[in-house]
């Protein structure tokens, strides 16, 4: 015979599974970071009855506030992650003896990836006179699981967006490099003289910009060098001028 207590427990487990399934579906649908954080806030505040939520995440060594709900700006300003949170290595219930800067919160949930802290979640109840088990205590492990999923998704999303930006920049540089190579003067574009032999070599820096070396051979002088510094910015404007005007040359005879 299934008791009422067991029925309630089964219902609680089903509710938690449904919450995780809904969250997984939201993540798979590849929503924006803002949309996912909004869903996260609604889930904590309305589904789990958590009154106060404060989430910090670390990206490239910098801690920043990812989400705050039900928390005053004064409370946020008074918290320093390095000073107040990094010392916590496990879930901590601070209801009875909260640190001065963390008053109003009931629990600290650290989030780790490969033994490195990647986030901290602070949760608290608004109704201090709530009778029964506090929602923050009852759902603490579930909130930890959800928070881990959210923060990992956010960081993966940022890394993906950064990769897309790098790919776009790479394509732009490749196009700029092809255009720039067409603007470099060839031998046929340089002044011709029966006593002077001129050749050009172009060495780009990171694909765009660089140094153009012009090799000259004079009667009685083995070799001379002329360098033209070609920064990427304004390169097309530079090379559209007549060569006699755009070259500021320095010659170094050898031999």
User: Percent helix, strand and coil across the chain, each rounded to 5?
Assistant: 45, 25, 30
pLDDT tens sequence across 129-144: 555 567 677 778 888 8
Q: How far is CA 17 from CA 40, 43, 151, 192, in A?
A: 15, 13, 19, 81
Say how far apart CA 90 and CA 96 lie, in whole Å.
Answer: 17
Specify whether the CB–CB gap between 214 and 190 falls below 8 A. yes
Closest by CA position to 136, among listed 85, 64, 70, 73: 70
Specify whether the CB–CB gap between 88 and 120 falls below 8 A. yes
Say how far apart CA 58 and CA 61 lie, in whole Å.
Answer: 6
H helical segments located in the chain: 4-28, 33-42, 73-77, 81-84, 135-138, 140-183, 235-239, 243-246
Say how far apart CA 142 and CA 109 lie, in whole Å.
Answer: 11
Which range has the worst mean pLDDT, 18-22, 23-27, 122-126, 222-226?
Answer: 222-226
pLDDT tens sequence across 22-71: 777 777 777 788 888 888 888 888 888 888 889 999 888 889 998 888 88
Average pLDDT over residues 74-100: 88
Specify whether the CB–CB gap between 198 and 191 falls below 8 A. yes
Give the global pTM: 0.60
More confident call, 101 vs 138:
101
More confident call, 124 vs 206:
124
């Amino acid at each position: 015979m299934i008791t009422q207590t067991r029925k309630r427990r089964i219902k609680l487990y089903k509710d938690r599974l449904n919450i995780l399934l809904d969250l997984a579906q939201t993540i798979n649908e590849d929503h924006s970071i803002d949309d996912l954080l909004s869903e996260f806030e609604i889930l904590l505040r309305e589904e789990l009855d958590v009154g106060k939520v404060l989430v910090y995440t670390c990206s490239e060594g910098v801690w920043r506030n990812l989400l705050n709900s039900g928390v005053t700006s004064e409370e946020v300003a008074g918290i320093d992650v390095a000073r107040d949170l990094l010392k916590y290595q496990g879930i901590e219930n601070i209801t009875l003896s909260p640190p001065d800067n963390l008053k109003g919160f009931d629990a600290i949930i650290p989030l780790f990836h490969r033994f490195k802290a990647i986030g901290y979640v602070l949760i608290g109840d608004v109704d201090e006179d709530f009778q029964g088990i506090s929602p923050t205590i009852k759902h603490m492990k579930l909130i930890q699981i959800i928070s881990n999923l959210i923060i990992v998704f956010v960081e993966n999303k940022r890394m993906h967006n950064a990769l897309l930006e790098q790919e776009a920049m790479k394509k732009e540089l490749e196009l700029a490099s092809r255009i720039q190579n067409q603007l470099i003067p060839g031998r046929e574009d340089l002044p011709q003289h029966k006593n002077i032999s001129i050749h050009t070599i172009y060495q780009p820096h990171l694909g765009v910009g660089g140094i153009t070396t012009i090799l000259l051979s004079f009667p009685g002088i083995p070799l001379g060098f002329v360098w033209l510094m070609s920064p990427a910015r304004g390169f097309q404007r530079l090379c559209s001028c007549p060569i006699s005007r755009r070259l500021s040359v320095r010659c170094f005879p050898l031999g």
